[in-house]
Amino acid sequence: MKQLLIIVCILSPALLFAQGFQVNLQGQKQQAMGGAGVATNLDAASVFFNPGSVAHLEQNSVSAGVSLTAESTAFRDGNSQQEFNTNSPVSTPFTGYGVWGPKESKFKFGMGVYTPFGSTITYEDGWSGRFSLTQMKLLSVFFQPTVSYKINDKFGIGAGFVYGYGNIDLSRDLPISNSNGDYATANLKGTAGGMGYNLGIYYKPSDKLSFGLSYRSEVKMKVNKGTATFNVPPSLASSFPSGNFSASLPLPQVLTLGIGYNASERLLLTFDVNYIGWGSYKSLAFDYEQNTSSLKDTESPRNYKNTYALRLGAQYKVSEKFLVRAGTNYEKTPIKDGYVTPEVPDADRLNFTGGIGYKPSDRFVIDASFSYINFMKRTDTNIETHMSGTYKTRILVPGISLTYNFN
């Protein structure tokens, strides 16, 4: 049992990089419209959504934005029927974009900095899953330099290089008690890095209709010197040595097809479909710097499945200075039954979004969004830990960004 808990403890950081409350907050305009943005070149966030549309942006610009994610998860234990809740602080994923190119040039260059994965989770004291998780802090930052080429007024192509960096700090109790009856603890810290690319094609056959196709490659995040620290009774210290470990995890490739339709001079409709290649994530292997009879190199099955997301959004131009936006999306979980954990209590999601845009001058634009991320209730028994219960998660996400346009 002790060996199993150590294995699961080490597995958690990389899992969290992959799926820990992944919320698509890469642009306030797009987020307010259900996260759809591949076929619409609304602003510099096109660096992320579709590099092919960047060259069709009318102005150069820089923008910065931040979102506040307030997560709450309730867990009902399948054996005791007792309910436990998280006491998680607010986390703040951010974005920064810049787009520049001479007005007469067909090329534009862009830079994006964004946080695609980030979460802070703290479960209440004494909860039944404390041997799986007590608290976790996760941050990841992706950097994406981009080049885009305007073939003509209808076509554009683009590509970006992606470097991802992340860090994790996770703690949990161990089912080992000292003479005072206090449980032993484990703390894991690690950093990870990986590289990939982003490709995009933009096609606007008419003033009313536009299409977009983007491909984000798999990014293999590698933890080279993660640190595991165990606070155990002295008699067991040799069985649970603190030290380094290494591991890697593939973040999935994503293929997105989108359509934009200007129903009128004031109303824009958007629709995106994402195909997400989680099926490549079959297992997770770890190499420990120091092995003992209780701490061995491991390979744990994950067997994720390919999945999809559907995104629908609308933007209405109330006046030259003021716009309103709304949207919804449905995201299918990649996690099969038997693999749900307190670190990743994922489920199918039905989300609702809205927002506003305000343009006080030709150069400045303020955008705000609000998202209600609703995870479906999910009951599961984990095949490794046999932890059984029902999870229900909700996340509230307000956000704001400021854009400065220039020639």
pLDDT-wise least confident of 66-75, 99-108, 192-201, 295-304: 295-304
DSSP secondary structure, 25-47, as one string:
-S-HHHHHTTT--TT---STTHH
74 found inside a domain: yes
Is pLDDT larger for residue 4 or for residue 93?
93
Instruction: Provide the domain limits for residue 81.
Output: 33-406
pLDDT of residue 118: 64
Contacts of 314 (CB under 8 A, 6+ apart): 33, 267, 268, 269, 270, 325, 326, 327
Instruction: State how far the Cα of 345 lies from the Cα of 348, in Å rounded to an integer.
Output: 10
267 found inside a domain: yes
25 found inside a domain: no
13 found inside a domain: no
DSSP 131: T
pLDDT-wise least confident of 68-77, 176-185, 304-313, 391-400: 176-185
Task: Report whether 393 contacts 123 (CB < 8 A).
Answer: no
How much of the chain, in percent, has pLDDT values that exceed 70?
93
351 found inside a domain: yes
Q: Torsion angle of alpha carbons 23, 401, 95, 67, nearest 10°?
A: -40
Instruction: State how far the Cα of 210 lies from the Cα of 188, in Å rounded to an integer.
Output: 47
Domain count, the chain: 1
Average pLDDT over residues 290-318: 86
Instruction: State how far the Cα of 174 lies from the Cα of 7, in Å rounded to an integer.
Output: 12
Confidence tier at 303 by pLDDT (50, 70, 90): confident
pLDDT of residue 229: 86
Using the predicted structure, report yes or no on whether residue 11 has a pLDDT greater than 60.
no
Average pLDDT over residues 201-226: 94
**CATH number of the domain within which 284 lies:** 2.40.160.60
334 found inside a domain: yes
6 found inside a domain: no
Q: Torsion angle of alpha carbons 185, 186, 187, 190, nearest 10°?
A: 180
Confidence tier at 117 by pLDDT (50, 70, 90): low
In sequence order, what are the beta bridge partners of 398? 370
173 found inside a domain: yes
- Over residues 365-386, the pLDDT tens digits come to 999 999 999 999 999 998 888 8
Work out the number of other CB atoms within 10 angstroms of the CB of residue 142.
23
> How confident is the prediction for the chain on average, in pLDDT?
88
Contacts of 146 (CB under 8 A, 6+ apart): 47, 51, 54, 109, 110, 111, 112, 158, 159, 160, 161, 198
Confidence tier at 95 by pLDDT (50, 70, 90): very high
Task: Report whether 171 contacts 135 (CB < 8 A).
Answer: yes
Using the predicted structure, report yes or no on whether residue 292 has a pLDDT greater than 60.
yes
Alpha-carbon torsion (333, 338, 339, 342), positive or negative: positive
